[in-house]
């Protein structure tokens, strides 16, 4: 194998380290493979749960096509598990160039029509565990190049990409920690703000309403002063679990202050007050230590921006707190 070619590829692949997310890395690798002439076309196979952190699906899916595959990718993506499930396992990857004729006949004919003669599958690892693969194709012109026949360049590419995946995963883990509340495990303010744009976009696509609410603890200071801060921490953890159990997996819950929680819900109807009233009733009648006040606002109904809605929800939460305190005072006077 010509060493200058390997050196040139290693030089090109240094850009892999610039990837901040897994999908950014796929685009960089696809660009490098195309520009270096190692492969005509290709795509990547990953478990959905690895690339999409909100997904829990373990099934394989295809991502980031390049070259001639792009025009036919929708069809390929729909059949990718059918094609590769039987012939490809993560523990026995085909780390060599192989004839297109080894694919199922219908697919070999399809790829032949695109002037491909070879294909190969190279595994990708993260933390030394198989997480995906690069699927690449070559045409006659590349195959005839003596310097491209050896699979070592793809071996190097897969190794470089696996190393970059470890780096991306480490960055993502650090980011997740920075966006998580240390006490409750919920999102913190930064984590909430990072996820809000995607939720808003999904609401627009589905025609749903976006409800923004606050849950504020009434008596955390009293608990801390009388029972100690450890008791207060445990009470907050219990409250966080109750809130998390009351919402759906796609809803957002964050601890945005010492005794304040934010909840972001997608609703088909514009009235989300019933949910918050029910949540308040459940918490106040089940917790022996804490009681809460709540406030909610709906985007495009109560305010035209997130800032407006959060301000309105905050004002309503404090109004709810004042009202509850006045009722308690009246009840005490009656007694």
| 85's tokens | 């499930």
| Helix H or strand E encompassing 265 | strand 260-267
Contacts 24+ apart (CB under 8 A), 74-77: 76/43
Asked whether the beta carbons of 42 and 69 are under 8 A apart, the reply is: yes
Asked whether the beta carbons of 267 and 199 are under 8 A apart, the reply is: no
- What DSSP string runs through 80-99? HHHHHTTT--TTS---S-EE
Please tell me the distance from the alpha carbon of residue 257 to that of residue 111, in angstroms, as a whole number. Answer: 57
pLDDT, residue 48, reads 65
pTM for the full predicted model: 0.62
Tokens 């309503």 identify what position? 316
| Helix H or strand E encompassing 19 | none
Tokens 């006659």 identify what position? 140
pLDDT, residue 59, reads 62
Q: How many residues does the chain have?
A: 335
Q: Which of 300, 320, 278, 291 is nearest to 212 (CA)?
A: 300
Please tell me the distance from the alpha carbon of residue 117 to that of residue 138, in angstroms, as a whole number. Answer: 6
pLDDT, residue 169, reads 85
pLDDT in tens, the chain (335 residues): 456 777 777 888 888 888 888 888 999 999 998 888 888 899 998 876 666 554 434 567 788 999 988 988 887 777 665 655 544 444 445 678 888 888 878 888 888 888 898 899 999 988 888 888 899 998 876 655 544 556 888 898 999 999 998 888 888 888 888 899 999 999 999 999 999 998 998 888 888 999 999 999 998 999 999 999 999 999 999 999 999 999 998 899 999 999 999 999 998 776 788 899 999 999 998 877 889 999 999 998 999 999 999 999 999 999 999 988 776 533 333 33
Please tell me the distance from the alpha carbon of residue 200 to that of residue 58, in angstroms, as a whole number. Answer: 27
Domains of the chain and any CATH numbers: 3-178 (3.30.450.40), 189-334 (3.30.70.270)
* Class of residue 230 by CB neighbours under 10 A (exposed 0-12, middle 13-18, buried 19+): exposed
């Amino acid at each position: 194998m010509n060493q200058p070619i390997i050196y040139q590829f290693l030089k090109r692949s240094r850009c892999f380290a610039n990837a901040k997310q897994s999908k950014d890395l796929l685009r960089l690798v696809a660009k490098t493979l195309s520009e270096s002439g190692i492969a005509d076309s290709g795509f990547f196979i990953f478990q959905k749960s690895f690339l999409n952190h909100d997904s829990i699906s373990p099934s394989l899916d295809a991502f980031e096509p390049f070259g001639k595959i792009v025009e036919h990718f929708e069809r390929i993506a729909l059949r990718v598990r059918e094609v590769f499930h039987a012939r490809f396992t993560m523990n026995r990857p085909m780390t060599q160039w192989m004839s297109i004729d080894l694919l199922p006949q219908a697919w070999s004919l399809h790829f032949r029509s695109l002037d491909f003669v070879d294909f190969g599958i190279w595994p990708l690892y993260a933390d030394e565990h198989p997480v995906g693969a690069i699927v690449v194709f070559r045409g006659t012109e590349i195959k005839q190049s003596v310097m491209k026949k050896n699979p070592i360049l793809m071996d190097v590419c897969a190794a470089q990409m696996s190393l970059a995946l470890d780096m991306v995963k480490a960055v993502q883990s650090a980011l997740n920690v920075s966006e998580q509340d240390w006490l409750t495990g919920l999102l913190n303010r930064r984590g909430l703000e990072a996820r809000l744009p995607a939720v808003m976009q999904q609401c627009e696509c589905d025609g749903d309403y976006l409800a923004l609410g606050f849950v504020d603890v009434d008596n955390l200071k009293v608990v801390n002063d009388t029972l100690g801060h450890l008791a207060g921490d445990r009470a907050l953890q219990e409250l966080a679990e109750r809130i998390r159990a009351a919402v759906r997996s796609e809803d957002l819950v964050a601890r945005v202050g010492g005794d304040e929680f934010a909840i972001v819900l997608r609703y088909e109807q514009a009235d989300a007050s019933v949910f918050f009233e029910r949540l308040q009733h459940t918490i106040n009648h089940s917790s022996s230590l804490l009681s809460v006040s709540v406030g909610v606002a709906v985007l495009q109904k109560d305010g035209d921006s997130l800032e407006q809605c959060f301000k309105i929800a905050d004002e309503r939460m404090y109004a709810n707190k004042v009202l509850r305190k006045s009722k308690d005072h009246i009840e005490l006077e009656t007694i």
